Amino acid sequence: MNIKKKLIKAVLIILMLITVGFAFIFIKGFISSAVVKDENKFTGEDLGKGNKIEQKNENELLFVFAGVDSTGEKLNTRTDTLMLVLMNKDTKSIDILSIPRDTRVYVEGNLDKINAAHSYGGMDETIKTIRNFLSIDLDYYAEVSFQAVEDGVDALGGVEINVPEQIASAQGIKPGLNYFDGKQALDYCRFRKGYANADLGRVACQQDFVVQFIKNMTKIKNIIKIPGVVSKINSNMDSNIKMSTILSFAWAFRNIDDAEINTQTIPGYPDMIDGISYYIPDNEATIDIRNKILYNYLLEE
């Protein structure tokens, strides 16, 4: 079995690791060890009048992946990573749309960084902010503490990361093959300063890490370590996605091909406003991407 065919045999946990973003990883035979918590209690009405928390299509799952310092906490904790993930059983595709943490949007009626929404009201406020920003029907979330990244990498025994020249230059590390333990991997993903394109460089770094982590995770020598990795990640994870739904999508994507995972980032540019750094979204280009990927989830405006 080659790496492409093994990719989703780990599919749920990696997406809940740190980006995509991180594309989902579950292991057949160990799925039952994962228990999804839901510490952010809210109803559909909390997200929008007349709204229900439900899948719009049983063959599609849309959720926001949020990386935070600690899960389930509502006060003084900002999201460090935000990604919209759309999984489609029919097309066997996963679309990941990253939202830079400094994106300037309306949060509780005032212009602010999108990552501030979590500090005001946890995942329900984060979801409401994204719903209003993109005018989409978003109900589900997967929230993971960054401690999960450190613990997960250590449980794997470390990871080999081939650091691209541009990222190496920004972070002041050697390009090419590097061996990271959990703390080093976390520092690598969370590094902010030095990128020529600001927050976009950080997003690209995180996405690259996810792909390479998956390759490390699915090496033959590491397969037996996966239960320990899953256990470490699960203790730092929170979601309102039903376990039956998770299992259904994990099984549907068991033979996914690398080419079917598509990553994009909200288009825009960095700017300073009143001495504060923001990422200003290109509204027209953002609407184009939204309409292309999330056309089944558009709210009436």
Read off the CATH number of the domain in which 132 is found: 3.40.630.190
Contact at 8 Å (CB) between 164 and 175?
A: yes
| The pLDDT of residue 114 | 97
| The pLDDT of residue 23 | 38
* pTM for the full predicted model: 0.76
Q: Which pair of tokens denotes residue 71?
A: 């899960």
C-alpha closest to that of 192 among 296, 101, 288, 127: 101
Distance CA 141, CA 71 (A): 12
In a domain, 45, yes or no: no
| The pLDDT of residue 165 | 83
Q: Are residues 214 and 79 in the same domain?
A: yes
| The pLDDT of residue 25 | 43
Q: Are residues 9 and 150 in the same domain?
A: no
How many domains in the chain? 2
Please give the residue range of the domain that contains residue 18: 1-35
Distance CA 23, CA 19 (A): 7
* pLDDT lower than 50: segments of the chain: 1, 3-35, 258-259
Amino acid sitting at position 242: K
Q: Are residues 213 and 269 in the same domain?
A: yes
| The pLDDT of residue 82 | 92
Q: Which pair of tokens denotes residue 259?
A: 């080419």
| The pLDDT of residue 17 | 41
Write out pLDDT tens, residues 167-193.
888 788 888 998 999 998 888 887 776
Q: Are residues 27 and 159 in the same domain?
A: no
